[in-house]
Chain A
Amino acid sequence: MAMRQALKAVLIDLSGTLHIEDTVVPGAPEALKRLRETPLAVKFVTNTTKESKQSLLDRLHRLNFSIQEREIFTSLTAARGLVERRSLRPLLLLEDSALEDFAGIETSDPNAVVVGLAPDHFNYQTLNKAFRLILEGAPLIAVHKARYYKRKDGLALGPGPFVTGLEYATDARATVVGKPEKTFFLEALRDLDCTPEEAVMIGDDARDDVGGAQNAGLRGILVQTGKYRAGDENKINPLPFTCILDSSWSSSCDNEMTLFSLHRNFKMLGNGLCRGMHGCVTGPETPPL
């Protein structure tokens, strides 16, 4: 098969996969530890629009995950990268907590619009300002296009509806930088020296994590924690690369392991998924689904 490629990297979603708010997903720390014992590169990828890298890192450290800043790649990182590459001066529709990730970026006399999750800025005046810039030709960059998210007081609108509204107003197309965009996954892999075919993505969002990754050429593994709801795996085509690892996945596995042997070494479970992060990287002691 055309799959004889070494597995080199694992991308892991944060919220819902490693932790849920301030609680660790059971088994996730051990799973991560096991992954660290392999030669695989590990990166943490997340669609954040409110939290800076530093605040994500602080939380992960509080939860005792050993993670370095350079291992985290967020949709804000991706947005900043795009702004820098194109030398843009963005109007930033971002919460103060996210602005940290844009420190040092020139924002006077804006010629671009970056939209994240910014309830405080999604008022009529600010959206009008953004709209006029876009109508004059400023590019519209969306950190991601999530429809809504869950807040303590209930569901709340995400950036997606506002981005869609601005697109409609101006006939412009937003450049979306977060998951599930192909470029997001490719950017995340950029400094890992591996091709998409040599990487897997593990996450709890069928569409954004697994579907997006598979669309970019990676393998996608859906965990049944976080926002996962029964049947999510059927929402995407192709279906998630569903598996748990058996005991042959161990510290002895090396870069030569091919996706072909990945098939052998991963226990295919019908339409099964990983119960959680630990299911992806633990041995046969993982109870069958």
Chain B
Amino acid sequence: MADKDWKECIKSLKGVVLDMCGVLYDSGEGGGIPIPGSVEAVKRIKASDLQLRFCTNETQATREKFVAKLKRMGFDIQVSEVFSPAPAALAVLKERNLRPHLLVHDDLLPEFKDIDNTNPNCVVIGDAADKFSYQNLNDAFRVLIQLERPVLFSLGRGRYYKETDGLKLDVGVYMKALEYACDVEAEVVGKPAPMFFQSVLTDMGIQPQEALMIGDDLINDVGGAQNCGMRGLQVRTGKYRPGDEKHPAVTADGYVDNLAEAVDIILKYRGQ
């Protein structure tokens, strides 16, 4: 039934938003590998009358480096089409005059190079991967616990993602750890925060019901988009697990085997 719904909305679509890791490629050693059919699928959307944006919670590299990596994999993609949490967080920090203690991947640090982080009055965590040591997490904890009102920003709240050598813990796990330790609630920047999706829609100049989100993360991609009034489609690649299709809280508007199949269906229903 849900399947029928999303196909019925295809004709009124004006834009498609793609998650990246797990939809376009699987990450891992050496930068990762494209998921079969995805390079071609992106080309086909771009050749259609649909707008296309990319929306990622990737925080292991600056947007520029990340886009360069995808170009090397063969994807037709520009920095201006990509929405990621770090630039969004930077804007919030500046607006609120906050000095962050950063627990982020070394390769993301250039995004924050212009901000004052002496005597920090908040903590920003991203997917720091191997930098998520006890010592580093403890340092972030100590900054928070000595603040009268601890402020914690989390670049996304994902639970885990898939790399070529297996599933890996994502930033949300460490966000939860700090939330529990300090009795605070983190402010999430990135998916599934509604503001993040809204900024993508604003950029395309379309309404939520005219947009379709395609992702492998049921909660953050599909659920997040649906909360904004968009449709959400889940691909059976990346971190997808069969149990997702029976999730008690989130039901995708449709499921497809991969991005290529999604694009096949979309273009067929639009007669292109």
Which A residues lie at the B interface, using CB under 8 A? Answer: 119-120, 122-125, 127-128, 131-132, 135, 147-148, 154-158, 160-162, 164-170
Q: Which residue from B133, B141, B180 sits with its C-beta under 8 Å from A164?
A: B180
Assess A157 versus B177: contact at CB under 8 Å? Given A119-B134, A122-B134. yes
Once the chains bind, are A165 and B138 in contact (CB under 8 Å)? no
Assess A160 versus B180: contact at CB under 8 Å? Given A124-B130, A155-B145, A169-B159. yes
Once the chains bind, are B181 and A166 in contact (CB under 8 Å)? no
Q: What residues on B are CB-neighbors of A131 within 8 Å?
A: 160, 167, 169, 173
Q: How far is the CB of A227 from chain B (nearest CB, A)?
A: 16
Once the chains bind, are B172 and A123 in contact (CB under 8 Å)? no
Once the chains bind, are A155 and B141 in contact (CB under 8 Å)? yes
* Docked pose: A210 CA to B176 CA in angstroms: 27
Question: Is residue B228 within 8 Å, beta carbon to beta carbon, of the partner chain?
Answer: no
Question: Is residue B43 within 8 Å, beta carbon to beta carbon, of the partner chain?
Answer: no
Q: What residues on A are CB-neighbors of B141 within 8 Å?
A: 148, 155-157, 161
Q: How far is the CB of A223 from chain B (nearest CB, A)?
A: 25
Question: Is residue B109 within 8 Å, beta carbon to beta carbon, of the partner chain?
Answer: no
Q: Which residue from B133, B179, B182 sits with its C-beta under 8 Å from A124?
A: B133
Once the chains bind, are B180 and A147 in contact (CB under 8 Å)? yes
Q: Which residue from B159, B168, B170, B181 sits with its C-beta under 8 Å from A147?
A: B181
Question: Is residue B166 within 8 Å, beta carbon to beta carbon, of the partner chain?
Answer: yes
Q: Which residue from A119, A156, A158, A165 sits with its C-beta under 8 Å from B176?
A: A165
14 more A-B residue pairs beyond the given contacts A125-B130, A155-B142, with a C-beta to C-beta distance below 8 A: A119-B135, A123-B133, A123-B134, A124-B130, A124-B131, A128-B167, A147-B181, A148-B181, A154-B142, A157-B137, A161-B178, A161-B180, A165-B173, A165-B174
* Docked pose: A160 CA to B178 CA in angstroms: 10
Once the chains bind, are A124 and B177 in contact (CB under 8 Å)? no
Q: Which residue from B130, B138, B166, B172 sits with its C-beta under 8 Å from A168?
A: B172
* Docked pose: A15 CA to B178 CA in angstroms: 26
* Docked pose: A164 CA to B130 CA in angstroms: 19
Once the chains bind, are B138 and A127 in contact (CB under 8 Å)? no
Once the chains bind, are B129 and A132 in contact (CB under 8 Å)? no
Once the chains bind, are A168 and B159 in contact (CB under 8 Å)? yes
- Show 18 A/B contacts (Cβ-Cβ < 8 Å), sorted by A: A119-B135, A123-B133, A124-B130, A127-B173, A128-B166, A128-B168, A131-B169, A132-B167, A147-B182, A148-B141, A155-B142, A157-B138, A160-B180, A160-B181, A162-B177, A164-B180, A165-B169, A169-B159
Question: Is residue B6 within 8 Å, beta carbon to beta carbon, of the partner chain?
Answer: no
Once the chains bind, are B132 and A123 in contact (CB under 8 Å)? yes
Q: How far is the CB of B160 from chain A (nearest CB, A)?
A: 6
* Docked pose: A167 CA to B176 CA in angstroms: 9
Q: Which of chain A's residues has its CB closest to B145's CB?
A: A155
* Docked pose: A119 CA to B133 CA in angstroms: 9
Give the interface centre of A124, A132, A160, A162 by most chain B CB atoms within 10 Å. Answer: A124
Q: Which of B144-197 contact A (CB under 8 A)?
A: 145, 159-160, 166-170, 172-174, 176-183
* Docked pose: A157 CA to B141 CA in angstroms: 7
Once the chains bind, are A164 and B134 in contact (CB under 8 Å)? no
Q: What residues on A are CB-neighbors of B138 within 8 Å?
A: 119, 156-157
Residue interface bits B116-133, CB-to-A below 8 A is 1, else 0: 000000000000011111
* Docked pose: A285 CA to B130 CA in angstroms: 59
* Docked pose: A190 CA to B179 CA in angstroms: 36
Q: Which of chain A's residues has its CB closest to B158's CB?
A: A169
Q: What residues on B are CB-neighbors of A127 within 8 Å?
A: 132, 169, 173
Q: What residues on A are CB-neighbors of B176 within 8 Å?
A: 161, 164-165, 167-168
Q: Which residue from A148, A169, A170 sits with its C-beta under 8 Å from B145?
A: A148
* Docked pose: A131 CA to B145 CA in angstroms: 27
Q: Which of chain B's residues has its CB closest to A158's CB?
A: B181
Q: What residues on A are CB-neighbors of B177 within 8 Å?
A: 157, 161-162, 164-165
Q: How far is the CB of B108 from chain A (nearest CB, A)?
A: 16
Q: What residues on B are CB-neighbors of A135 within 8 Å?
A: 160, 167
Assess A128 versus B178: contact at CB under 8 Å? Given A155-B145, A156-B138, A157-B137. no
Q: How far is the CB of B107 from chain A (nearest CB, A)?
A: 15
Q: What residues on A are CB-neighbors of B183 within 8 Å?
A: 147
Assess A169 versus B169: contact at CB under 8 Å? Given A123-B133, A155-B141, A157-B137. yes
Q: Which residue from A155, A160, A166 sits with its C-beta under 8 Å from B173?
A: A166
Q: What residues on B are CB-neighbors of A162 within 8 Å?
A: 177
Give the interface centre of B129, B178, B181 by most chain A CB atoms within 10 Å. Answer: B181
